[in-house]
Amino acid sequence: MNRKNILIAGAGGIGRSVALILAEWSKEEYNIFIGDGNLSTLNEALHWLSKSKSKKTEVFQGFEIPFSGESDELISILKKGDIILDCLPGSLAPRIAKYALDYDLHYANLTEYVKETEQIVEMAKKSNRGFVLQTGLAPGFVNVLTNQLYQNFCQKHKVEKVERILMCVGAITQVAYSPHFYGFTWSPIGVATEYLEKAKVLRDYKLTHMLALSEREFLFIDGKKYEVDITSGGAADLPDFFKDKVRRLDYKTIRYEGHYNWIDNKIKKLKETNVVSPNNLQKVMEENIPRVEDDIVVIFSSVEGKNKEGKLYRTEKFYNIYPTKVGTATLRAIQITTASPLAQVAEYLLSDKIKGVYFQSQINTNDFFEGTFVSRMIKENKRKR
């Protein structure tokens, strides 16, 4: 049987993590090609992968992705591919998706960018290959988890409508200091953007938009107190999917208590000088908030509704994901929780079960959670509790 060729676009922290997970945890053997436009980043990733793998038979091959156009090397790699996993910035997603269309590859990405996602949907409508979009952590894992909880709740209580769905994710540090109570564990511009862009929500069963950081509440998860607030992007397509079925749906980001008050004050000062933007908020945060390696990802979802007799019930699920050993390396929590769902979708796509565009609401929840990579991530972290 021929080994499948997996192409990974992007050799940064997530791209190299996906490559390592696919090599170390898969039941199949793959040829893994990893590409980037920055040759220094690419060579660093290949060196890291060679040190981090424990399976002697696995070989990773690098390739350059030109900043424009197509080189002979890139064309040769694309012709070999069965699937391309897009780990590049979201602004490049339509370009990488077009490669998948032109060279007949499956495609999956991580981006929460709306305009680029809409472009890909239009491009890939009639493709004979599968295109799974927004399939990392949030959007991604938390949305599939939520859909599974909703299905189980409705089946158990024999209803089709529920009162509330709450999805929460926090990529946070294991230790937090005042006054900001935060440390960067992933992209600062990503954090700044989700704090400022409007978010899709459901209110009274109807789709609407709300300002980020406009509806704060507190949760105790596994005995720890957190604050959560509305942020953009993490809901994926669930607001559209659940309209007319869910009275209220929110995606909120988890933080330690006190962080959002600090952010509110910084945004207020930017508004006073009329310079509010993701880039400016990023600059303010980076002047005060350090980058931290020792992280934890907290994932929470709940479904609340009434049964036929009008009694109110809630079902919920949470995960605490810590840095996890893969091969000889230890991946940070944000890397393992973003890369594992992407690897899981890659396994699903390579089975050739789907074609055309798929969103999180369409993913088979049992296949996802029982799959090789997501189940292994959860199993490895149960040992840490």
User: Which tens digit of pLDDT belongs to each residue from 130-153?
Assistant: 999 999 999 999 999 999 999 999
Q: Give ∠ CA 340-343-348 in degrees, rounded to 5.
A: 125
Structural domains of the chain ordered from first start? 5-138+329-382 (3.40.50.720), 141-326 (3.30.360.10)
Rounded CA separation 371/330 (Å):
21
Q: What is the DSSP letter of 186?
A: S
The band of 385, judged by pLDDT with boundaries at 50, 70 and 90, is low
pLDDT number for residue 382: 84
pLDDT (mean) for 175-183: 96
> What DSSP assignment string belongs to 208-266?
EEE-TT-S-EEEEETTEEEEEEE-SSTTTTHHHHHTTTEEEEEEEEEE-TTHHHHHHHH
Rounded CA separation 269/292 (Å):
26
Strand partners, 209: 200
Q: How many residues does the chain have?
A: 385
Contacts of 187 (CB under 8 A, 6+ apart): none
**Residue 278: is its pLDDT beyond 90?**
yes
The band of 202, judged by pLDDT with boundaries at 50, 70 and 90, is very high
User: Which tens digit of pLDDT belongs to each residue from 322-350?
Assistant: 999 999 999 999 999 999 999 999 999 99
pLDDT number for residue 288: 97
pLDDT (mean) for 275-296: 95
pLDDT (mean) for 285-295: 95
pTM for this entry: 0.94
Contact indicator for 198, 209 with CB cutoff of 8 Å: yes
The band of 10, judged by pLDDT with boundaries at 50, 70 and 90, is very high
Cα-based distances in Å from 45 to 107, 139, 345: 22, 25, 22
pLDDT (mean) for 346-374: 92
Q: Which amino acid is at 291?
A: R
Strand partners, 305: 313
Q: What are φ and ψ of residue 263, in 5° steps?
A: -65, -45
For all residues of the chain together, what is the average pLDDT? Answer: 94
pLDDT number for residue 384: 57
Q: Which amino acid is at 375?
A: S
Q: What is the DSSP letter of 137?
A: B
Query: Phi/psi zone of residue 310: left (φ > 0), alpha (ψ -120 to 50 degrees), beta?
Result: left
User: Which tens digit of pLDDT belongs to each residue from 63-93?
Assistant: 999 988 899 999 999 999 999 999 998 889 9
Rg (CA), the chain: 21
**Residue 1: is its pLDDT beyond 90?**
no
pLDDT (mean) for 5-21: 96
